[in-house]
Structure 1
Amino acid sequence: MKLRFDWKVKTGIAVLVLAAAAFGGWKYYQGQQQAKKAAAVETTDVIRMDMKSTVSATGTIRPVNSVEVSSKVTARIKSVLVKENDTVTAGQTVATLEGKDYEAKRDQAQIKVTNTKAKYDRVSYLYSIGANTQAELEDAQMNYETAVSSLSEAQSDMNEMTITAPMSGVVIGEPKTPGTMAVQGTSSPTVIMRIADLSTKQIQAKVDETDIGSVKVGQTATFTVDSYTGKTFTARVTNISQTDTSNSWDTSSSSSSSSTSASVIYYYVTLDVDDPDNELLPAMTARVEINTAEKPDALAVPISTLKTDANGSYVIVKNPDGTQENRYVETGIYSDEYVEIISGLSEGEQVVNTYTAKTSAAKTSSKKNQGGPPPM
């Protein structure tokens, strides 16, 4: 009997030892898993920094003042007196046209003026002595005045044989060569040459409709061009177009009717360029960053830490005891990597940089976001 009792006691003790060992192992495993989970959470401090919000756009450099030189009459180009990159002054002769046909017309008009003047003088004398009627005098006078008008027109056409520069500047591109027919017209005349004032330049940039509300006249900007690697130029916003680049709002326009509702809407923004060394050339592509807002010593967190739901924007705050809570915040301006926090956080607090599922220990702050919706 004693042996059977000792065996039961030993068995019970062994079971208790095994149970205690299993419980201890399970607790150890749980502790290791919690430690791994806590170590996997990446946090960042809420900091203060100088922030700048920008709008990116791409545009083309062009001179502020430029002109296309064309002829007011149709004639063949006789000579071109300037070449590409030449500097010209307003009124300078830059080309001449063949004028033989117009010269012949002018001579004919001059002969007609002489003849009609002589006839008018005779009729006027005869009318003065009662030999001609009032109607004959008026007809002679009308013929003479018509001839004078035709001579004036012919002389004006002859004057157009000399092409002068309408403004001071630089000849941009290669002018037309002698022998080319210069065609007059209002829709598509022959452009003999282009002259531009390169002392002042602009950028015509296209800004997306989602950003145009942040752009204001007077804002400063920086831009780069491929020709000068590593160099940054400055500019200033001087004009914002009140219509989009394709006038899509005008349903009566044929160009707008072809656009679809899925098209991206852009607006032209004009910026005056600072180029004291005259390094920039027309048609260069400028990659522009318009400074839309600046905030010194702003409270900020990385944009990657910001989340959104139906209630607004929030961050996951890691408390000193290791617990986490969802804290709703009011946001301000955005930079490329950071967002300003107007309220909801304090400097030095830690926010989780990676998404973790909500736990029973997580608490939700009652503050709602009052800023703009951030990206998910």
Structure 2
Amino acid sequence: MKKIWIAIGVATVIVLLVGINVWRQVAAEGLTVKTTQLEQREIASSVMTPGTLKLKNEQTVYASPEKGEVDEILVEEGDQVKEGDALLRYANEQLELEKEQNALTIESNYLRLNHLKKQLDRLDEKEDEADEQIGGEQAVQSIEDERDQLEMERRMANIELKQAQLQKETIDKQLKDLTVKSEVDGTVLSVDEVAAHATNQTEPQPVIRIAALDELIVEGVISEYDTLKVEEGQAVVLSSDVVPDEEWKGKVTHIGYLPEQSNSMNGETEAVQYAVEVAVESEDIPLKPGFQMIMEIETEKRKVPTLPLSAVISESRAAVDGDSTEASSEEEHYVFVVKDGKAERRPVEVGIVSDDRIEIKDGLEPDEHVIVDPPDDLKDGAEVTVK
């Protein structure tokens, strides 16, 4: 039994000695790490903002009681219409009566002018006869008052005729407006006969809705800061939580010049925002108008020195404003560079992040080897071995 315990003791000592030797060998070799170097990559910055999917070209027709009663709806749901096609027609008896009365007034003025012309012609004949009988000067004097009266009546008749003709143009325009026409090329989405004849609606309902189904836009807002970066024509990636694994292409088509109106709460001024519109360029998008979407607007694209995100470590540090005692949190970025077989902690200035790469603005040389995925306990000056 004693020999067995002696054997166990000897074996334990041997294991300890072997373990110590192995530990010393590993410590001498240092931690094994994988490294990378700065790589020029095309990287893009972006602005993300929510938006609502809408139809670009849409027309909504409401009943207009001031025009009269809806006499006839000329389209049905599903019809394809072109700009200028008639959609519905109003009936307005009062306007028809005014048209007839106006036509009679115009005719009456023409008859009156013709009668005055004949009177003036007869007056000329009378003047010629008087000239032969009693002399030219006396003849003119005898009929001057009569001619002046007739000329005055003719001028008044001309004025009344012009007024009637202007009234005719107004009536004709009003009659033309009784036929509502399509303002867009598209599909008739809905027709509501009840809304066309309802007289006591608390809130007006559309009678006809038309839209171009193949032209979609996304509308949202961006901050005043982002308006300095977003421009018309920039590419946009569109996505939706409803279909999380799909993306669609778009393009910025409009940025509001004036800010959106906002109501301040509790006397506090809200952030200024500007409207932004994005045209959907992808076809066969499965979403419907009204769906909420995310717009990722690509504001800048350039080639810059980059590293994998896994090579850059970020940590917060306290910063104090020189004019204030209030501390704020800032991020410090650093990497570990392999130099003379040791890990050297190196602060770096970073820029744009895109996918799994990050821009390195300052702090590294192109030929330096940077540790990828450094261990959490890696210390400055630790010995390392590169794979």
**Are residues 87 and 342 of structure 1, via their aligned partners in 2, closer, same or farther at CA, if it must alter by over 3 Å?**
same
1:328 Cα deviation from its structure 2 partner: 2.3
User: Which one has a larger percent helix, Structure 1 or Structure 2?
Assistant: 2
> What is aligned with 1:200?
215
TM-fit CA distance, 1:146: 1.9
Matches within 5 A, 1:61-100: 61-69=53-61, 74-100=67-93
Q: Which residue is 2:151 aligned to?
A: 134
1:1-376 aligned at under 5 Å gives the runs 52-69=44-61, 74-130=67-123, 131=146, 132-175=149-192, 177-180=195-198, 192-225=207-240, 228-246=243-261, 262-277=269-284, 279-292=286-299, 293=301, 298-302=306-310, 305-307=313-315, 313-315=332-334, 317=336, 326-335=345-354, 339-345=358-364, 346-349=368-371
AA matched with 1:161 = L
State how far apart, in whole Å, the 1-side matches of 2:228 and 2:222 are: 10
With over 3 angstroms needed to count, the CA separation of the structure-2 counterparts of 1:117 and 1:276, relative to structure 1, is same
Worse overlay, 69-78 or 286-295:
69-78
Bigger CA drift: 307-316 or 127-136?
A: 307-316
Identity of aligned residues (%): 22
**Partner of 2:114: helix, strand, or coil?**
helix
Q: Is the 8 A contact 1:73 1:157 kept in 2?
A: no
Backbone CA RMSD of aligned residues: 4.3
Q: Is the 8 A contact 1:92 1:164 kept in 2?
A: yes
Question: 1:324, CA displacement in angstroms?
Answer: 7.1
Cα deviation per residue 1:308-339 (whole Å; 9 max; x = unaligned)? 66699442638689987652212221236753
Please state how far the C-alpha of 1:95 moved relative to its aligned partner.
0.4
Q: Secondary structure at the match of 1:230?
A: strand
Tell me, in whole angstroms, the C-alpha distance in 1 between the residues paired with 2:99 and 2:285: 47
Task: Using the TM superposition, name which of 314-323 and 110-119 deviates more.
Answer: 314-323
In structure 2, the CA distance between the partners of 1:313 and 1:90, relative to structure 1 (3 Å rule), is same
- SS for the counterpart of 2:197 is coil
Query: Are the structure 2 counterparts of residues 303 and 96 from structure 1 closer, same or farther at C-alpha, using a change threshold of 3 Å?
Result: farther
Alpha-carbon distance in structure 1 between the residues aligned to 2:356 and 2:224: 22
Name the SS of the counterpart of 1:150 in structure 2.
helix
2:21 maps to none
Aligned pair in 2 of structure 1 residues 88, 117: CA closer, same or farther (>3 Å)? Answer: same
Q: Structure 1's 174 and 137: CA in aligned 2 closer, same or farther, altered over 3 A? A: same
C-alpha distance in 1 between matches for 2:333 and 2:106 = 90
How far does the alpha carbon of each residue in 1:129-173 deviate from its partner, in whole angstroms, 9 at most, with x for none? 335431111112222222233233223322322222233212345
| Aligned-partner Cα distance in 2 for 1:170–1:353 | 62
Deviation, 1:212, is 4.1
Once the two structures are TM-superposed, the CA of residue 69 in structure 1 deviates from its matched residue by 4.3
The 3-state SS of whatever aligns with 1:167 is: coil
Q: Letter of the aligned partner of 2:233 in structure 1? A: G
Query: How far apart, in 1, do the equivalents of 2:169 and 2:339 lie?
Result: 96
Q: Is the 8 A contact 2:186 2:211 kept in 1?
A: yes
- In structure 2, the CA distance between the partners of 1:111 and 1:66, relative to structure 1 (3 Å rule), is same
Cα distance in 2 for partners of 1:230, 1:191 equals 36
Structure 2 CA distance for aligned equivalents of residues 78 and 259 of structure 1: 51
Q: How far 1:235 sits from its partner (Å)?
A: 0.9
Task: Judge conservation of contact 1:84–1:173 (CA < 8 Å) in 2.
Answer: yes
> How many residues are treated as equivalent by the alignment?
310
Normalised to the residue count of structure 1, the TM-score between the two structures is 0.65
Shift of 1:307: 3.9
For residues 191 and 94 of structure 1, what CA distance do their matches in structure 2 show? 13
